[in-house]
Structure formats: C-alpha cells, structure tokens
Amino acid sequence: MVAERAGVSTATVSLVANGKASGRVSASNEILVREAIRELGYVVDSIGSSLARGVSNTVIMVAPDISNPFFAMVIAGVRAALGSEYQLLLSVTDAGQLPSAENTRRLLGLRPAGLLVDAPDPTFLQELSAPGPMVLLDAPGFGSDVPAVNLDVAQGALAIAAHLSATGHTTVAYLDGDTGTTTFDVRREAFLTAAEELGMSVPPEAQIATTINVGLAANAFATAWPSWKKAGVTAVVCATDTHAYGILQEARAAGILIPGELAVTGFDDLPYSTTSSPGLTSVHLPGELLGRRAAEQLLSLIAGEELEQQPITLESSLMVRGSTLEP
Amino acid sequence: MVAERAGVSTATVSLVANGKASGRVSASNEILVREAIRELGYVVDSIGSSLARGVSNTVIMVAPDISNPFFAMVIAGVRAALGSEYQLLLSVTDAGQLPSAENTRRLLGLRPAGLLVDAPDPTFLQELSAPGPMVLLDAPGFGSDVPAVNLDVAQGALAIAAHLSATGHTTVAYLDGDTGTTTFDVRREAFLTAAEELGMSVPPEAQIATTINVGLAANAFATAWPSWKKAGVTAVVCATDTHAYGILQEARAAGILIPGELAVTGFDDLPYSTTSSPGLTSVHLPGELLGRRAAEQLLSLIAGEELEQQPITLESSLMVRGSTLEP
DNA sequence: CTGAAAGCGCTTACAG
DNA sequence: CTGAAAGCGCTTACAG
C-alpha cells in the first residue's frame, strides 16, 4: 500500500481513509495521511476492503424488463433513497426472463450489502438460500415473511372493470403479457373476477398474451380482431401500456375507430400514454415511490433493524383518457 | 473453504472449480471435488477470487439516460456479445448527468474485467487514468487513440436537412437536449451546417434546449411557438424522439396541424415513433449493433488483442413518416 | 498428480 | 495514539 510512504502504518491509513480517525489517530498523522492520499490519488480497493470486511458497499438490483420506461422511474427512486454511501449496480436479465435464483446466486459472490429484486420468478425464494438483506419489488404472492414493496395492481384492475362497465361495455378482451411475471397474473385475475361480478363477459378466444413489445402486440391483435369483433368485443384491457400501443398502432392502420369501435386500456401510465392519439386510459403506478420505499426498507435491513408490516403495498389509480372516452 | 471436506487441498478444489483440472487433477479426485461442490452448493467467492487474480469477471457499463428505451437495445447487444463468461453490471448516473471520471474511478475498485462507457463527459478521458480495458460508446470527438463505437448521427442530421429542404421548408427550428452529451452537439452542428448549405435558415430564437422529457419539451414548445410562427418556422428538428413527442402532444392540445403547419423530426427511432399520430419521422440508430460491437471490442481488449481502426462508426438512416409528409 | 505456502489489498482486534 | 499481526477466500507458482 503505497499511501504509507507518508510515514505511518497501514492500520493508520485505513482508519483515516474510512473516516474512523477521530480519537484514534493524532491530528498531525491524519493530516500527513490525507496529504499522501491526495498526492497519490489513492482509492481504497473495494475488493480488498470487501474481503476483509465481509461485505461490499454495493447494492445490487436484479431486474427484468429494463426496456420499460417505468423501470427508469423505479431506479430513480432507488438511487434517491440509497444516497451516496452505497453504489447501485443493476443486473439485467435477458429479455423476457425473470430474475432467477441461479442468476442471483452468482451475484452473491460480489458480497453485496443488499439485494433488490424486481419481479422475481415465483420459485425464487425456495431456490435462493441465505440471502442476507434483500427486498423484493413488485412481487405479489411471496407471503408476508419476506420484505417486499408491491403495487396494488388489483385495485387498478378493478377500476378498469368499473370504468368499462360504467361506459357501457359488456364484452371485453384481455391482452396479457407472457413473461410469467406474477403481477400480470394478479392484474388478469383481478380484472376477470371484477368483470364477471359486473356482468361483463371475457370470451376465452378474447384472452391472448404476447411479449411486451409494440410490434408483436400489434400483430397478435391484427390476427385476433376478426374473431373478437364477431364475439361482440368492444373493449380490450392490456396488461401493459406497451401492449396497448400495439393495438393503437394496428387500429390506426386498419381503420378501427378508438374508442368508437374499440376502447383500449393499459397499465403503467407511461409518459407516452399522454402523447398517444388518442391518449391511453391507463392505471398509474407510482414507480419512483416503489423504488424509494424498497431502498429504504433495504437500508433498514442492512442497518440490522426489524421491519414492520410486510409487504408494503402502494396504491394505484386509473387515468382516464381518450382511448376509452369520446372527448 | 468447506468444499475440501471432501478429501483434497484447496488448490485442487480451485483447479476443478475453475475448469483447469484437465491434466492436472486425477479423474477420481475431480469427481470427488465435483460431488462435494454439488452437495455443499458451493459458489466460488468472486471477491476472494478477484483479489487473488487481480481482476474480476465483471464488465461494468456506465451509462446516463437509462430511461431512454434506446438504451435497452444497446444493453441487449452488449449482453449478446458478452455471453455468459462475464457478468454485466450497469452503473447508472443520475438523471441528466453524464458519466464522470470521479464516478467511474470508484467503480474501478470493483476491478472490472473491462469498462463500457456510454456518452461520457468530454473531459472524461483526461481525468481518468490507468483505465484497463475500456470501450466508449456514442462518444464522438474522443479521438482515434481510444477504442470507441460511434453512431453516425451527422449523416442522419444531413438526411433530415435534405428531406426538409426537399419538402419545401425554408425556416426551421431546433429543439436540442441540454444534457451536454457530445452526440447532441454533433447532431445540431451537422444539421445547422447542412441547413445553411441548403439555404434554410434557423433563427436564433428558434434554437432552444430542454431535458429529455416529454412534458418539459411540450412546455418549452408551447412557450416558443408564437415567436417561431412569427419568424415563419414551418418545421422543427428535435435532438431526440422524446423531445418530438412533447411537440406532438402540445401541438394536438393547441390544435397545431402536423405536418401541415409544422413538420417534426426526431432522432433514435424509438418504437413509439411508429405508433404516434402522426408517425414520427426520425433518424434510425442501430442500438443493438452499437452494444454488440462495443462489447466485442472490449472482449478483444480483455484478451489482450490489438484493435484496428478506431473509432468504429455505425451508419444511421432516416425513417420518413407522417410528421413530415402528408399521407 | 498433489499439497504447503505465499500473496492479493484491506480491516480489526490486540499489545504496547 | 500507533504498529505488528492475523485473517478475509481465493489462486498460482513451486516442491515433491
């Protein structure tokens, strides 16, 4: 360690570099060390530090679906809560893949101070052992024994059902995501249940699923539309805004009137949903808050505190726009 | 190291765990070790490994602007080229911040096998010393001595100018990004130069800049439009599609006809540009290829190979849609 | 083919 | 207040 060329032992340097000098290092030595550090441009090697300490100062966030602009909001929230003490590193899964235990275990080798896992695979917890501080995001159905921050998407699904019912729809279609994310199951089941209670029908042939991709959603819709039309479908509920954009696009190309012939709704309330034509009725999900709360929980965990009341659930709200309501 | 409870020395275990056993470990011992590894669920501690070896098997990508869906394509390309040998970790800068040398230096403590830096600050290289394998993405103007993969945005800017000129525009506005990214400078300068050569004017008051955000772009446009109109502006060139969406949104709200009263163009060719109404004329940038080529270069660097011909520049192309052309 | 040993760069009791 | 020393979990020459 070069820094000690300025007179003292590595122990003293370590104390100063880690801000643990007060009361344990003489003022004169501290100054000497600081000067040496500056002159040599020394940066604590976090590998060595992590090895000695047992943990790194890295928080790793595992997430699928980074292409979703919604995700950027979540990240912003995480960063805001984490501050500068911890370094946030993102581990992205391949497109359409959920974070797996296998994957995450490799990350554990980096000795993260904590783990944030977004939309994990349902079997995730059973497979991953000895995790250390970990908070799940957007992971409904993992029970109350594991720290998690969820979005109340069911509430949003109910709001959609109520809104469609109130605007006179009786037969609706459902365009699902096919990534297997649990939140999609919750969205769908909540909607189907509410729809049934409200007397709306969702014919089996009007329940399809595609990857979260505008083009693929457009294609799927183009193929399905004739049979939907025959079945009397007048509205389609999409699992994400991205799916809905596909429908908007295809509908324009095919001359299908939105919302006259077909009303369309989404989930996420992405920025583009205000811009699209017509504007997209969508369930607004508080992404920034989701990230912030999850990071706060993780910080508590890292500090060794007990968490109360799990999981935390964040409310959603329906933004009604032109895709379901004639201006 | 618990794994050696199955009979051999740590050296032997290390050899097996790293796949260096062939010819150096007896078959019987190898089997023993593999069994022990499986039974104990042993994972090589990458911290210890990295410390001993000098480098980790982590490739760190530093990037701003993760909210840009374009970025997801870049990531996909990087992952595809990197394969499974290296773990990709993303370090995101705060919104509107470029990757700084300061920031990156901290990351170096993790001993990455290599660094991928997207849209760095212009002073980046001077400030960052002793980098190890590193490839820049989308970093025009860093000279030919540093490995980089760039997008030929200037070419796209020329295409826009030519297209607008050909469709009869003589006075145009420019809505820039204000993050200081070099690529924005290149886009703007290339366009302004080409516009001048083609006899189009871009009045000073019609050159404004905002953050990459639909809402902010919309506001800026709303404020600027009266004076633009007075100056005879009939087209606006936006530094990103996101800016353009803001204009589309505000124009619809204000009843400004696109492209009749105002033609609009963007850069990036995001998926939503096909969906928007009207479709957005935009410069298509090959994001997936950008990521792939950059990762390939990095892999060569890590393998100790010499790179030829730097920087690599990827071609762009103009996608003409309804925002500049009446159907 | 195999194991004992040194060493990677740090941190943290522990003596002094 | 300070330094010598042990130890974090690995890898890699080096003897045998």
Tokens matching residue B148: 């980089």
Helix axes B10-17, B27-40, angle to 10 degrees: 80
Tell me, what amino acid is at A318?
L
In a shared domain, residues A138 and A235 = no
Q: How far is A33 from chain B (nearest CA, A)?
A: 20
Nearest to A214 among B43, B248, B275 (CB): B275
Contacts of B48 in chain A (CB under 8 A): 51
CA atoms within 13 A on the CB side of A152: 11
Q: What is the pLDDT of residue B267?
A: 96
> Cα-flanking dihedrals φ and ψ of residue A173, to 5°?
-105, 165
Average pLDDT value for residue range B194-208: 97
Contacts of A244 in chain B (CB under 8 A): none
Contact flag B47-A58 (C-beta cutoff 8 Å): no
* Percent of all residues in chain B with a pLDDT value above 90, rounded to a whole number: 48
Q: How far is B261 from chain A (nearest CA, A)?
A: 18
Which helix (H) or strand (E) covers residue A172, if one does?
A: strand A172-177
Nearest to B91 among A89, A105, A242 (CB): A89
Question: Does any strand D atom come closer than 7 Å to the Cβ of B48?
Answer: yes
Burial A301-326 (b: 16+ CB within 10 A, else e): bbeeeebeebbbbbebebbebbbbee
Q: Which residues touch strand C (CB under 7 A)?
A: A 1, 10-11, 14-15, 17-18, 20, 44-45, 47-49, 51-53; B 7-12, 23-26, 28-29, 48, 51-52, 54
Q: How far is B323 from chain A (nearest CA, A)?
A: 13
In a shared domain, residues A76 and A65 = yes
Q: What angle do CA A119, A121, A127 make, to 5 degrees?
A: 130
Is A161 domain-assigned? Answer: yes
What residues make up the domain containing B39? Answer: 2-44
Is A49 domain-assigned? Answer: no
CA atoms within 13 A on the CB side of B189: 8
> Cα-flanking dihedrals φ and ψ of residue A228, to 5°?
-60, -45
Optimal mutation site among B39, B79, B89, interface A, most CBs of chain A within 10 A: B89
Tokens matching residue B295: 């990762």
Q: A44 to chain B: nearest residue by CA?
A: B109
CA distance B75 to A95: 10
CA distance B2 to B6: 8
Q: What is the pLDDT of residue A129?
A: 65
Contact flag A277-B94 (C-beta cutoff 8 Å): no
Is pLDDT of B190 > 70? Answer: yes
Per-residue pLDDT tens for A230-244?
999 999 999 999 999
pLDDT band of residue B172 (cuts 50, 70, 90) is very high
Number of structural domains (chain B) is 3
Q: What is the pLDDT of residue B4?
A: 65
Burial of A1 (0-12, 13-18, 19+ CB in 10 A): middle
In a shared domain, residues A140 and A229 = no
Residue entry with tokens 């799927």: A220
Pairing of strands A172-177, A207-210: parallel
Q: What is the pLDDT of residue A157?
A: 98
Is A13 domain-assigned? Answer: yes
Is the backbone peptide bond immediately before A259 cis, with ω within 30 degrees of 0? yes
Q: What angle do CA B164, B168, B174 make, to 5 degrees?
A: 40
CA distance A233 to A169: 8
The C1' atom of C9 and the CA atom of A1 lie apart, in whole Å, by 7
Q: What angle do CA A109, A114, A115 make, to 5 degrees?
A: 80
Q: What is the pLDDT of residue A231?
A: 96
The C1' atom of C6 and the CA atom of A82 lie apart, in whole Å, by 39
Nucleotides of D under 7 A from a protein CB: 1-5, 7-13
Q: What is the pLDDT of residue B3?
A: 65
Contact flag A47-B50 (C-beta cutoff 8 Å): yes
In a shared domain, residues B142 and B223 = no
Is pLDDT of B131 > 70? Answer: no
Is pLDDT of A281 > 90? Answer: yes
Is pLDDT of A327 > 80? Answer: no
Is A327 domain-assigned? Answer: no
Nearest to B47 among A41, A72, A110 (CB): A110
Contact flag B51-A51 (C-beta cutoff 8 Å): yes
Q: What is the pLDDT of residue B76?
A: 85
CA distance A290 to B177: 28
Q: What is the pLDDT of residue B269?
A: 94
Average pLDDT value for residue range A108-121: 86
* Percent of all residues in chain A with a pLDDT value above 90, rounded to a whole number: 48
Q: What is the pLDDT of residue B75?
A: 87
Sheet holding A312-314, edge to edge: A312-314, A148-151, A134-137, A114-118, A58-63, A87-92, B87-92, B58-63, B114-118, B134-137, B148-151, B312-314
pLDDT band of residue A221 (cuts 50, 70, 90) is very high
In a shared domain, residues B108 and B11 = no
Is B215 domain-assigned? Answer: yes
Pairing of strands B317-319, B281-284: antiparallel
Question: Does any strand D atom come closer than 7 Å to the Cβ of A20?
Answer: no
Is pLDDT of B230 > 70? Answer: yes
pLDDT band of residue B69 (cuts 50, 70, 90) is confident
End-to-end CA, chain B: 70
Q: What is the pLDDT of residue B222?
A: 96
Low-confidence winner among A194-208, B2-16, B167-181 (lowest mean pLDDT): B2-16
Nearest to A47 among B44, B111, B129 (CB): B111
pLDDT band of residue B127 (cuts 50, 70, 90) is confident
Burial of A203 (0-12, 13-18, 19+ CB in 10 A): middle
What CATH number is given to the structural domain containing B196?
3.40.50.2300
Optimal mutation site among B42, B273, B275, B277, interface A, most CBs of chain A within 10 A: B275
Per-residue pLDDT tens for B264-318?
999 999 888 887 778 999 999 999 999 999 999 999 998 888 888 788 999 999 9
Q: What is the pLDDT of residue B221?
A: 97
Q: What is the pLDDT of residue A68?
A: 73
Q: Which residue is nearest to nucleotide D5 (CA to C1')?
A: A11
* Percent of all residues in chain A with a pLDDT value above 70, rounded to a whole number: 95
Helix axes A46-53, B46-53, angle to 10 degrees: 140
Q: What is the pLDDT of residue A320?
A: 97
Is pLDDT of B203 > 90? Answer: yes
Nucleotide nearest to B50 (CA to C1'): D10
B282 closest CA partner among B152, B184, B156, B138: B156
Q: B46 to chain A: nearest residue by CA?
A: A109
Is pLDDT of B210 > 90? Answer: yes
Contact flag A73-B56 (C-beta cutoff 8 Å): no
A204 closest CA partner among A164, A173, A180: A173
pLDDT band of residue B213 (cuts 50, 70, 90) is confident
Q: What is the pLDDT of residue A125?
A: 74
Contact flag B245-A73 (C-beta cutoff 8 Å): no
Is B89 domain-assigned? Answer: yes
Per-residue pLDDT tens for A42-98?
878 878 888 888 888 889 898 876 667 788 889 889 988 988 778 888 888 776 677
- A74 to each of A21, A154, B245, how far by Cα in Å? 37, 19, 22
Strand, coil or helix: B59: strand
Nearest to A48 among B51, B72, B88 (CB): B51
When mean pLDDT is compared over A110-119, A170-179, A211-220, B266-275, the highest value belongs to: A170-179
Question: Does any strand D atom come closer than 7 Å to the Cβ of B26?
Answer: no
Nearest to A89 among B89, B215, B276 (CB): B89
Contact flag B246-A109 (C-beta cutoff 8 Å): no
CA distance B96 to A7: 42
pLDDT band of residue A4 (cuts 50, 70, 90) is low
Contact flag B66-A43 (C-beta cutoff 8 Å): no
In a shared domain, residues B292 and B282 = no
> Cα-flanking dihedrals φ and ψ of residue A84, to 5°?
-100, -10
CA distance A265 to A274: 12
Q: What is the pLDDT of residue B317?
A: 95
Residue entry with tokens 């709306």: A200
In a shared domain, residues A98 and A210 = no
Q: Return the bridge partners of B201, or none.
A: B171
Is pLDDT of B238 > 90? Answer: yes
Q: How far is B176 from chain A (nearest CA, A)?
A: 19
Contact flag A272-B214 (C-beta cutoff 8 Å): yes
Contact flag B43-A272 (C-beta cutoff 8 Å): no
In a shared domain, residues A186 and A274 = yes
CA distance B133 to B49: 19
Q: What is the pLDDT of residue B65?
A: 67
Q: What is the pLDDT of residue B282?
A: 98
Which residue, A25, A44, A63, sits at the end of a domain? A44
Say how many residues make up chain B: 327
Q: How far is A41 from chain B (nearest CA, A)?
A: 10
Per-residue pLDDT tens for B252-268?
889 999 999 999 999 99
Is pLDDT of A122 > 80? Answer: no
Q: What is the pLDDT of residue A119?
A: 85
Average pLDDT value for residue range B14-25: 82
Helices (H), ranges, A96-213: 101-108, 124-127, 153-166, 182-197
Average pLDDT value for residue range A91-116: 78
Low-confidence winner among A147-161, B174-188, B195-209 (lowest mean pLDDT): B174-188
In a shared domain, residues B146 and B291 = yes
Is the backbone peptide bond immediately before B271 cis, with ω within 30 degrees of 0? no
Contact flag A129-B87 (C-beta cutoff 8 Å): no
Q: What is the pLDDT of residue A109?
A: 77
The C1' atom of C1 and the CA atom of B250 lie apart, in whole Å, by 75
Sign of the CA dihedral with B187 first, then B218, A271, and B97 last: positive
In a shared domain, residues A275 and A293 = no
A57 closest CA partner among B115, B128, B87, B107: B107
In a shared domain, residues A30 and A96 = no
How many Cβ atoms are within 10 Å of A143's Cβ, its own excluded?
Answer: 10
Is A326 domain-assigned? Answer: no
Question: What average pLDDT is seen over chain B?
Answer: 88
Average pLDDT value for residue range B78-91: 85
Per-residue pLDDT tens for A285-297?
999 999 999 999 9
> Cα-flanking dihedrals φ and ψ of residue B260, to 5°?
-50, -55
Is A321 domain-assigned? Answer: no
In a shared domain, residues A269 and A300 = no
Helix axes B153-166, B182-197, angle to 10 degrees: 30
Q: What is the pLDDT of residue A297?
A: 95
